[in-house]
Amino acid sequence: MKIGILTSGGDCPGLNAVIRGAVLKGIAVHGQEFVGYKDGWRGVVEGDIIDIPRTMVRGISKQGGTILGTSRTNPFENGGGPEVIKGHMDRLGIDAMIAIGGEGTLAAAKRLTDAGIRIVGVPKTIDNDLDATDYTFGFDTAVEIATEAIDRLRTTGESHHRCMVAEVMGRHVGWIALHSGMASGAHAILIPEQRVNIDQIVEWVKLAHDRGRAPLVVVAEGFTTDTMAEAHSERGLDTFGRPRLGGIGERLAPEIEARTGIETRATVLGHIQRGGVPTAFDRVLATRLGMAAIDSVVEGRWGTMVSLNGTDIVHVGFEAALGRLKTVPQDRYDEARVLFG
């Protein structure tokens, strides 16, 4: 059997470990052959592939990014569609696909599966926002990177007695902000799930400052105050028509400084959270998911994705993966909120 692998959407640490796990098990256990689609769905639509022999995946589990490249191409636009994609698969002798990506990738994979193309999925999002899996690879690494960066911001903030605002990724959910904020001892954590007014934020900052601390605020890019109609965006729309978020930290910092008199600085961590080597946790999880995806292919579980349930890898339908976002529940935020101020 010849299997095509693609990585689509935003990159994150752990993608290469998935590829390695799938290829090594597929070759060693089942004698399968592998090719990689270049740059995600673009390669699928254009039939642009490279061979993936065993030698190509040696030592790549520790590498960040993806050796196949990625893009945010919509496979149903720009000359794509099921007929075109199936035609390329027949021409290239590809029997099935493993699609590694987030909600957008899996939604496209479901539509193509419904059209008769044999696809299994591997969930990928550093936001950890897919409800059908307990954790997604890349999240642990993003939290670790954010925590280290925030720790560094804290030391300079304390030296100058400043308030530091650290903006982290999180369009719809605040898992990265919650975990990195708790880990770094933030005095306020602001997430999309919780609309907080500026007076409350200022109160938390003042409480920390009055105790002789340099206040630290961690905010997710998708956070909105109670007076904002939508998340802050200054950079237009992406290829799927979604606002490119970013800049809420720069918007909050002058407001905090004006209301408290405390010199305030904002830093946007941005894409630094996507880069670098994956943590050991993410390498292991990604490898296990890649190996489990081969089981899905062998068993003909088309239209499903592999998922982490506790410590077990299970198989769930794309419908479950796309049903709803995994948001930060109220009790988890209340738990952290005790530590604010």
Mark the binding-site residues, compressed into ranges. 10, 72-73, 102-105, 125-127, 162, 169-171, 221, 265, 271-274
Which ranges of 132-174 does DSSP label H, i.e. alpha helix?
Answer: 139-160
Q: Is the dihedral of CA 170, 174, 179, 185 positive or negative?
A: positive
Q: Order of strands, edge to edge, in the sheet holding 2-7?
A: 49-51, 33-37, 2-7, 96-101, 119-123, 304-309, 312-317
Binding residue ranges for substrate: 125-127, 162, 169-171, 221, 265, 271-274
Between CA 313 and CA 308 the distance in angstroms is 5
Known binding residues for Mg(2+): 103
| Residues annotated catalytic, as ranges | 127
Tallying the residues shown for the chain, one arrives at 341
In sequence order, the β-bridge partners of residue 3 are 34, 96
Report the candidate in 117, 48, 43 with the shortest Cα–Cα distance to residue 82. 117
**In this structure, is the dihedral angle defined by the CA atoms of residues 249, 253, 255 and 260, taken in order, positive or negative?**
positive
Between CA 101 and CA 106 the distance in angstroms is 6
With CA atoms as reference, report the closest residue to 334 among 208, 189, 197.
189
* 120 contacts: CB under 8 Å, gap ≥ 6: 96, 97, 98, 99, 293, 296, 297, 301, 302, 303, 304, 305, 306
Burial of 73 per CB tally in 10 Å (0-12, 13-18, 19+): buried
Q: Which amino acid is at 94?
A: I
Going by DSSP bridges, is the β-strand pair 312-317/2-7 parallel, antiparallel, or unpaired? unpaired
The Cα–Cα gap between 6 and 156 comes to 42
3-state percent breakdown (helix, strand, coil) of the chain, nearest 5: 45, 20, 35
Q: Alpha carbon 23 to chain centroid distance? A: 23
